């Protein structure tokens, strides 16, 4: 039997609910509408109310702290893909290949996922990602370079991309100094 737990993380982009099945992240939810609705949504999707357990999310919380401080480029956390179906998983896995501080278009990610004509499906996959930030769907942009909506919160996408760009720029300045 699986153990389902959750913990809250206070981030620069708002409260985040981290939910785990055993030790694998099943959902990272930026709770723009509050933690309680986020908890209710994941309980409905999983069919069980997660038990509060800050210890389960401690490693990811540290990694998120490092990411927001510009000291982490990728996450080292097990992912539970049970909420992801079909092409969505291929698109999300492809977005993991986009380097920190860089972007790729929906069409480019479609090619990386093995379905060159599926740019719109990539957009749907990114919008429904249960692993935002950890799986960097914020690095996927429109073909014209426009950011896109990012779940109705383009300011969050802009913040994450700016954070990464500033980190890369600062590292470049240090190397050349």
| pLDDT 10s digits, 7-66 | 999 999 999 999 999 999 999 999 999 999 999 999 999 999 999 988 889 999 999 999
For 123-142, the pLDDT digits (tens) are 999 999 999 999 999 999 99
**CA dihedral (3, 37, 96, 86) positive or negative:** positive
Provide the pLDDT for residue 174: 59
Q: How far apart are CA 160 and CA 150, in angstroms?
A: 11
Q: Given its phi and psi angles, is residue 13 left (phi above 0), alpha (psi -120 to 50 degrees) or beta?
A: alpha
Asked whether the beta carbons of 20 and 26 are under 8 A apart, the reply is yes
Give Cα 149 distance to the centre of its chain.
Answer: 14
């Amino acid at each position: 039997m699986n153990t389902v737990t959750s913990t809250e993380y206070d981030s620069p982009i708002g409260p985040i609910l981290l939910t785990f099945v055993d030790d694998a992240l099943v959902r990272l939810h930026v709770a723009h509408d509050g933690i309680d609705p986020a908890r209710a949504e994941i309980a409905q999707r999983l069919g069980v109310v997660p038990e509060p357990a800050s210890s389960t999310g401690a490693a990811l919380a540290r990694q998120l702290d490092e990411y927001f401080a510009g000291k982490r480029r990728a996450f080292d956390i097990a992912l539970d893909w049970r909420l992801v179906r079909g092409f969505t998983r291929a698109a999300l896995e492809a977005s993991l290949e986009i380097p920190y501080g860089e972007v790729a278009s929906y069409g480019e990610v479609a090619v990386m996922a093995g379905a060159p004509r599926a740019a719109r499906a990539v957009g749907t996959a990114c919008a429904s990602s249960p692993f935002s930030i950890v799986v960097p769907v914020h690095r996927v942009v429109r073909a014209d370079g426009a950011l896109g909506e990012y779940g109705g919160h383009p300011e969050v996408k802009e913040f994450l991309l700016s954070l990464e760009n500033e980190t890369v720029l600062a590292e470049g300045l240090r190397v050349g100094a």
